[in-house]
Structure 1
Amino acid sequence: MDRTVRLLQRAIEVPGLSLKLALLLVEYHIHRNEVARRSHTKTWMARHKRVKLLPL
């Protein structure tokens, strides 16, 4: 979440970039990070089939 706030702050500082476009940029990055996280998890699970995960 901290990265998201920093990204939004930096995007707002860009001259000529509206708040709407800055928010769209942040939403795009949040979505891409979620897709990447799911992909990494899926790959890790496929490579480590015998690992038993314990809840924290």
Structure 2
Amino acid sequence: MPSRANAEVFAPSKHTKSRGWAAWGWFCPVVNLWFPRRITLDIRDASGRLGRPP
């Protein structure tokens, strides 16, 4: 997932899930109910302005 890799450049410590889950989280039964949202929120938080809440 390119957006996940780009967000990791800005804030590598803000991600709670690994890169593998960014792709496989969509296909694993039951996990796909909450992992994609959590990964998207991690990307949003890492890509936001520094020092400013989202």
Of structures 1 and 2, the one scoring higher in RCO (CA 8 A, sep 6+) is 2
Greater radius of gyration (CA): 1
Q: Does the TM-score normalized on the shorter chain lie above 0.5?
A: no
Normalising by structure 2, we get a TM-score of 0.38
Structure with greater helix share of residues = 1
Normalising by structure 1, we get a TM-score of 0.37
